[in-house]
């Protein structure tokens, strides 16, 4: 860990960033609200797995290639945007959710969806390349290991925050449904609209 400096500052800054609502947290909250706490947890774990993929890609230099290549960045960006829009439209077109009495829906594929939402967002790759090196000694021979360790720490704290957000959102939604005050079938429409908006936002985002 000689290559890492200001570790307490890194952990504090990382937690602040993790608590700041972003596309990943909104996806986790939306999934938990729409499909139950277990689905939200799987989405959070999928997001975490996506972060690990970015950490690995950054450690071996592939993320740097994506960051420096406009066409590669645009390709990944539009793939991610298209996937978010697809997931949103699938929710918007879903029929008959109210007939289940508010029971949590199937969780098939949620983990993979969460991972893809993160992996196909090139902004995450840029974040790791910009944030983590600030806490690594550039002259140290162990830069790659230091980057990996910091990436794992950031992923662990971020996953913990997302798991807590999923539990809170899903529990609140379940209580509202139990009292007859839940939004019923409209929750899919709201969450689907959020996903579509996130996809459009990603598609329109700049590389810088």
In a domain, 121, yes or no: yes
In a domain, 95, yes or no: no
Q: How many domains does the chain have?
A: 1
- Partnered with residue 136 across adjacent β-strands are 4
In a domain, 163, yes or no: yes
In a domain, 93, yes or no: no
Q: Which of 11-25, 88-102, 112-126, 132-146 is predicted least confidently?
A: 88-102
Structure tokens at 122: 């090139």
% of residues, the chain, pLDDT over 90: 18
User: Which residues fall within 8 angstroms of residue 40, CB to CB, at 6 or more apart?
Assistant: 28, 29, 31, 32, 33, 165, 166, 167, 169, 170
Count of residues in the chain: 208
Q: How confident is the model at residue 183 (pLDDT cuts 50, 70, 90)?
A: low
In a domain, 3, yes or no: no
| pTM of the predicted model as reported, rounded to 2 decimal places | 0.77
- Alpha-carbon distance of 176 to 91, in angstroms, equals 20
Most confident of 1-10, 14-23, 68-77, 185-194: 14-23
Q: How confident is the model at residue 103 (pLDDT cuts 50, 70, 90)?
A: very low
Average pLDDT, the chain: 80
What pLDDT digit, counting tens, does each position of 124-175 carry?
888 887 888 888 887 777 777 888 888 899 999 999 999 999 999 888 887 7
Burial class (CB in 10 A: 0-12, 13-18, 19+), 44: buried
pLDDT of 98: 40
Show the domain range for 64: 23-77+100-183
Do 170 and 191 meet the contact criterion of CB atoms below 8 Å apart? Answer: no
In a domain, 18, yes or no: no
- Whether 101 has a pLDDT exceeding 50, the answer reads no
pLDDT of 207: 59
What pLDDT digit, counting tens, does each position of 44-75 carry?
999 999 999 988 888 777 666 666 777 777 88
DSSP secondary structure letters along the chain: -TTB--HHHHHHHHHHHHHS--HHHHHHHHHHHHH-HHHHHHHHHHHHHHHHHHHHHHHHTHHHHHHH-HHHHHHHHHHHHHHHHHHHHHHHT---GGGGTTPPPP-TTHHHHHHHHHHT-HHHHHHHHHHGGGGB-TT-TTHHHHHHHHHHHHHHHHHHHHHHHHHHHHHHHHHHHHTT-S-TTHHHHHHHHHHHHHHHHHHH----
pLDDT of 100: 42
In a domain, 11, yes or no: no
In a domain, 88, yes or no: no
Question: Who wins on pLDDT, 109 or 160?
Answer: 160
What pLDDT digit, counting tens, does each position of 83-96 carry?
888 878 877 876 64
């Amino acid at each position: 860990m000689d290559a890492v400096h200001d570790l307490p500052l890194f952990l504090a800054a990382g937690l602040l960033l993790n608590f700041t609502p972003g596309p990943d947290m909104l996806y986790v909250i939306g999934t938990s609200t729409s499909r139950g706490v277990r689905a939200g947890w799987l989405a959070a774990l999928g997001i975490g797995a996506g972060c690990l993929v970015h950490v690995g890609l950054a450690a071996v230099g592939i993320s740097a290639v994506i960051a420096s290549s406009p066409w590669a960045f645009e390709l990944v960006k539009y793939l991610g945007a298209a996937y978010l829009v697809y997931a949103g439209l699938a929710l918007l077109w879903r029929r008959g959710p109210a007939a289940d009495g508010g029971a949590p829906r199937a969780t098939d594929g949620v983990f993979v969806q969460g991972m893809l939402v993160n992996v196909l967002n090139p902004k995450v790759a840029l974040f790791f390349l910009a944030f983590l090196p600030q806490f690594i000694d550039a002259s140290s021979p162990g830069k790659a290991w230091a980057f990996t360790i910091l990436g794992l720490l950031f992923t662990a704290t971020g996953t913990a925050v997302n798991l807590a957000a999923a539990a809170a959102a899903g529990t609140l939604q379940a209580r509202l449904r139990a009292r007859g005050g839940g939004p019923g079938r409209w929750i899919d429409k709201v969450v689907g609209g959020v996903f579509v908006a996130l996809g459009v936002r990603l598609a329109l985002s700049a590389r810088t």
